[in-house]
Amino acid sequence: MESVTLSSKYQLVLPRQARERLRVRPGMKFTVISKGDVIFLVPERPTRAYRGVAKGTRAGRVREKKDRL
């Protein structure tokens, strides 16, 4: 486990091993999600990356939220 320090300008530097493992590049954008005392950085993906995610699903089988178990 690696640790980082928040600078006086509220900046973090990701350790090299984490950057390489996660393929983080300069200029990438992240969504910040906080849950309790935990902060998640989620890389934003271009809309094109989601192409085909719902392949094979049928819109006719969608139920209303109130009808779900």
Domain ranges of the chain: 17-47
**pLDDT at residue 28, rounded to an integer:** 92
pLDDT in tens, 7-57: 999 999 999 999 999 899 999 999 999 999 999 999 888 888 778 877 777
Q: Please enumerate in sequence order all residues whose Cβ is within 8 A of that of 40, keeping only pairs 6 or more positions apart, or say none.
A: 32, 33, 34
pLDDT of residue 64: 75
- Tell whether the torsion through CA atoms of 10, 15, 21 and 23 is positive or negative: positive
Global pTM? 0.58
Report whether 63 contacts 50 (CB < 8 A).
no
In the 8-state DSSP scheme, what is residue 62? P
Provide the 8-state DSSP code for 63: P
pLDDT for the residue 60: 67
Q: What is the pLDDT at residue 13?
A: 93
Res 57: pLDDT:
73
